[in-house]
Copies of this chain bind each other. A is one copy, B any other.
Amino acid sequence: MKELVIMTDNPLTPYERTVAHEQDVSRFRHPYPTFDYQTRINDLAHKIEATEADAALLPNPVDLTYYTGSSQPANLYVPAGDGKHARLFVRRAMAFTKQEAGLPEKYLKQGGLSAIVEYASHVDTIGLPLETTPASLASKLADALDADPINISDVVLTQRAIKEEEEIELLTDAAELYEVAHGAIQRRAAPGVTEKQVGGEVVGALVAAGMDDNIFFRRWDARLPAAGLIASGETLSLVSGHAMTVTGTGVARSMPWGPSKRSLESGDFLVADIALNRAGYHGDVARTYVIGEATPTQHEWFEWTLALHEAARDAIEPGVPAEEPYLAAYRRAEELGVADWLCGYAEMQAPYIGHSIGLEADEEPTLMRGNTEKIREGMVLTIEPKLIHPERGAVMIEDDYLVTTDGVKRLSTVPQELFEISI
């Protein structure tokens, strides 16, 4: 090993942690509004009162972002009924948390499980988001409190489903980011270029433009590639099991969807379905491209898909069941004679046409057959019909819509067209 001089007069002296760790970090980040976290916590406390849970305990970073503004490692404890007794137990990085959490300082306490147990008055039942908490952690938390766990995933999701004004602005920023992906596709797609190379151009441009290259997905067993789902030619009709959409094959069995090593060819359809995470809020937009000039058949296939999109979109208004946009698109597909190809074919066909988006890319409600939950004003929903055919390939057009008093407002901005890539 190389000889190193050992410092006799060490210039490094212990440094007051507060000076360094309490630097203002917001200057390195996107602007972010100050939400009224206390009201959100109060609302949760009231909603918990209507469940069997005596209190809620939220360890998930996404929920922590929603209720506190910080996603640092912590647990938020909220007794039923009264939000003012809620406390955020911070496991690490208190200095960051103090800057990020928009709560009075008395809400913040340093500590882990033993601190929670000490603070909590006796609870017989504890509400946990069991859909997004690992089983080993849920047991540990419930055992420590000597309480039965109650699943409150629905309570949290229902609250998060109605977006506030500043959230809608953030969701708009995210949806608009597809413009950057659109530019990258138009720049890079060409005969001989692989789907994966197009994906590289897309994700590179999106990250440089400020996207966080990690899409937050509720579904625990399906991780979404940050470059989005990009498929072309033969890969358009190869539908993998992880989603009811145009999946492509991916380059590996461990993540069997997303862009592959297939080279684009003149005349191909290319579908890009891209989830976008900006400042924590997600967009989800898809467009279809043709490498070269589109044939009349390709135009026709696109026009039908757009007609299905419009049918689903026009079905959205407050009070309508969440299955209605799908049913409206299905009826239109029957009229057009293409119902066999709506959102997949054969065993991979799905009675599904969109979903809510927010702090996660796949929130509730899901717009699918059988879902009678009511659509409400202030929800932000995607509409994503696709026609998938083993020989014709696939066309998809997805946009993000705010539910207004009497209909929708589109948040995503790229024109609803079939795009031809000049070659």
Contact = CB atoms under 8 A, between A and B. Distances in A.
Nearest to A193: B208
B348 A21 contact: yes
Nearest to A237: B20
Taking each of A29, A226, A234, A256, which has the highest tally of chain B beta carbons within 10 Å of its own beta carbon? A256
A96 interface: yes
A21 B346 CA distance: 9
B203 A226 contact: yes
B203 A60 contact: no
Interface in A141-176: 149, 151, 153
Contact of A203 (B207, B223, B346): B207
A139 interface: yes
A206 interface: yes
A201 B196 contact: no
Contacts of A209: 200
Contact of A4 (B14, B135, B260, B307): B307
Contacts of A55: none
Contacts of A197: 208
A389 B135 contact: no
So how many copies of this chain end up in the complex?
Answer: 2
A15 B213 contact: no
Contact of A210 (B14, B251, B303): B251
Contacts of A130: 134-136, 139
A369 to B, nearest CB: 17
Contact of A21 (B2, B14, B341, B347): B347
A261 interface: yes
Interface stretch (A41-49, A65-73, A112-120): A65-73
A254 B212 contact: yes
Given A134-B131, A210-B251, A255-B280, A200 B204 contact: yes
Interface in A1-29: 1-2, 4, 6-7, 10, 12, 14-15, 17, 19-21, 23, 25, 27-29
Contact of A212 (B7, B251, B348): B251
Interface in A242-269: 242, 249-256, 258-262
A249 B128 contact: no
A105 interface: no
A221 B72 CA distance: 9
A373 to B, nearest CB: 19
Contacts of A340: 12, 14
Contacts of A311: 1
B4 A303 contact: yes
A406 interface: no
A238 B340 CA distance: 55
A213 to B, nearest CB: 4
Given A15-B390, A279-B252, A262 B28 contact: yes
A195 to B, nearest CB: 8
Interface stretch (A86-94, A283-291, A318-326, A378-386): A86-94
Interface in A171-214: 196-197, 199-201, 203-210, 212-214
A52 interface: no
Interface of A: 1-2, 4, 6-7, 10, 12, 14-15, 17, 19-21, 23, 25, 27-30, 32, 59-62, 65, 69-73, 91-97, 100, 128, 130-139, 149, 151, 153, 196-197, 199-201, 203-210, 212-214, 216, 220-227, 234-235, 237-242, 249-256, 258-262, 277-280, 303-304, 306-307, 310-311, 314, 335-338, 340-341, 345-348, 359, 389-392
22 contacts: A1-B314, A6-B337, A15-B345, A21-B238, A21-B346, A25-B256, A29-B253, A29-B261, A65-B254, A132-B134, A133-B134, A135-B137, A136-B151, A203-B204, A204-B207, A207-B227, A210-B251, A210-B261, A252-B278, A252-B279, A254-B277, A254-B279
Q: Which 8 A-B pairs have the closest CB atoms?
A: A204-B204, A254-B280, A200-B208, A93-B241, A20-B390, A17-B346, A28-B260, A135-B138
